[in-house]
Amino acid sequence: MLQKVATADTILMRRPPSNFLRRGFTLIELWVVMAILCILVALLLPALKAARDEAQRVVCMSNLKQMHLGFYLYAEDYEDYLPIMWWGPTQDDFSKHWMFKIEPYIQKIRPGVWGGDVFKCPSAPQLPSSTYFTYTANLILGYRVAGYVPHHKKTSSFVEPSRLLLTFDGRFYGDPTWGGWYPVAVGDNDNLDHVGLYHRETTDVLYLSGTVSFESLITSALFHDEGVLGNY
């Protein structure tokens, strides 16, 4: 029986063409891959942003909780009185505002850590390094007007502390290039535009009772305790 012998010609014919071995992606295939990647990115970005926003809200609420401890410890040392929320009107009086009064107590809670970080919401607009607070206090809980005796209250004088604002996200005012400012403390109706809606159109709030929550609408009623013992 005759056996067919492979020749050089037949061996070469069985090999894949050299251009087949070196074949790359076509332009259409590249476009398809890029389209798939774009779709995946579009699907993932909202989820990543939502996760980041939620993490920033957790930090913000933790800040408010630590501030409440600072207020509570201050009141323990000062016969149940809250600190003055706004002490004015000159810049020289700035160190007498509430954040300076509770900051030493926050240092006791977090030894070796300056309390200034607690006064910054991570979701607030980026600010110059000289700005160290983004939270605003309820002015009605204590204020001082030039020439008058400081007006502040004891924590025990309020009937419904769970419905009374203590601090909340403040809204930035001014031009970031020259500094601008956050309000130290604001009152009710005329100052509701000072509320910062940094968390999906809501603001994180701390009530006098220590409850931390978020509100989509801050009303003037949250600044007052109608059953307060005494006058404002």
Q: What digits encode the pLDDT tens for the residues 133-152?
A: 888 888 888 887 766 667 77
Q: What gap in Å lies between CA 156 and CA 123, rounded to an integer?
A: 33
Tens of pLDDT, residue by residue over 147-182, are 666 777 888 888 888 888 899 998 877 665 555 677
- Stated pTM of the model: 0.73
Do you know the residue count of the chain?
A: 232
Q: Which residue has the tokens 């600190």?
A: 83
Q: What is the pLDDT of residue 209?
A: 92
Q: Which range among 6-20, 109-123, 154-168 has the greatest average pLDDT?
A: 154-168
Q: What are phi and psi of 197, to 5 degrees?
A: -95, 80
| Least reliable range by pLDDT among 11-25, 134-148, 193-207 | 11-25
Q: Find the mean pLDDT for residues 80-99.
A: 78
Residue 26 has a pLDDT of 80
Confidence bin at 89 (pLDDT 50/70/90): low
